[in-house]
Chains A and B, each alone.
Chain A
Amino acid sequence: MKRLLILGPLLLFILLAVFLARGLYQDPSELPSPLLGKTAPQFGLTELPSQPGETAATFSPQAMLGQVWLFNVWASWCAACREEHSILLQLADTHVLPIIGLDYKDTAADALPWLVHAGGNPYAHVAQDITGRVGIDYGVYGVPESYVIDKKGVIRYKQIGALTAKNLQDTILPLVKRLQSE
């Protein structure tokens, strides 16, 4: 019994170390989304026109049923979006899946020149979420965020923060491949 008591502090230390080590590798800003496995919230938003002031069509996620698509939330005021943009352009070049943009709390006057400066428009459609309402429905709290949505319109993956070449290769593209063959 006495020997056990001597081991006590050591066991306590190991327990504490395990918990702290776990905490060290968890990013508190990345939250599990409750939307995973749920149908992507519906909306109807005016698309970003090709010229400021021009009238544009309305985009609704319903139009994407039957396709696996990437929903990317971005804004011209978001610094990390510029970094991410080259990855999106490369992805668009591969034609693996359509990329739909949500221009979050932004204006066409800012967004259009931003796209030109950032090297082009990778998006098949860009919906303008001027008020941020749709962003709230998608649980957006840190732009950029990306969602992979399957053929049935169900959210299967959520990425908070910029996409990188690595997580695209390792996680997103394999998932997309699987979803496309579903």
Chain B
Amino acid sequence: MGLAAQEAKPLVPDPALEAQLQTLYQQLRCLVCQNQSLAESNAPLAEDLRNEIREMAATGKTQTQIVEYLVARYGDFVLYNPPVKANTLLLWIGPFVLLLIAVLVGGWVLRSSKKNLQDTPLDKAESEQLLQLLNKEMK
């Protein structure tokens, strides 16, 4: 009597579907451990949600439908990529506004410091000295 070693069964019936869903899991936040995605989390809720998503996908629901289903229950917070809305506008355009301010301030500072420079031409002795130095370098 011998126990034959069996090959490990895949955790889910359809590995191809699971691979597809993996990218979706990565875009969704686990609500219990908020800095992990559904793909990473081992929390029971994350497991339940993965099961739910798997079943929805198996019955032919599209990824958009699945995402809508989750947003209806948990809000935009489940999405790692927040949609552009009135209350997320600052999030989306804030960095560009800051960049614009930085460029404007930078430009202004540069221009005003240039204004302070006075163009004083070299006198004869100085330009001769300069020529000598340059010639030395060339040799």
Contacts and interface: CB of A to CB of B under 8 A. Distances in A.
Contacts, number: 39
Interface in A87-115: 105
A141 B105 contact: no
Nearest to A31: B77
B72 interface: yes
Contacts of A32: 75
A52 interface: no
Interface in B68-122: 71-75, 77, 105, 109
A3 to B, nearest CB: 13
B57 interface: no
A34 B105 contact: no
Interface residues of B, number: 16
A8 B73 contact: no
Given A8-B105, A141-B32, A34 B48 contact: no
Contacts of B31: 31, 141-142
A5 B75 CA distance: 42
Contacts of A35: 72-73
A71 B123 CA distance: 91
Contacts of B49: 136
B52 A34 contact: no
B83 to A, nearest CB: 13
A29 B35 CA distance: 11
Interface in A26-44: 28-29, 31-35
Contacts of B44: 105, 132
Interface of B: 31-32, 34, 44-45, 48-49, 52, 71-75, 77, 105, 109
Closest CB pairs A-B (n = 3): A141-B31, A139-B73, A34-B75
9 contacts: A8-B105, A29-B34, A34-B74, A35-B73, A133-B52, A135-B48, A136-B52, A139-B75, A141-B74
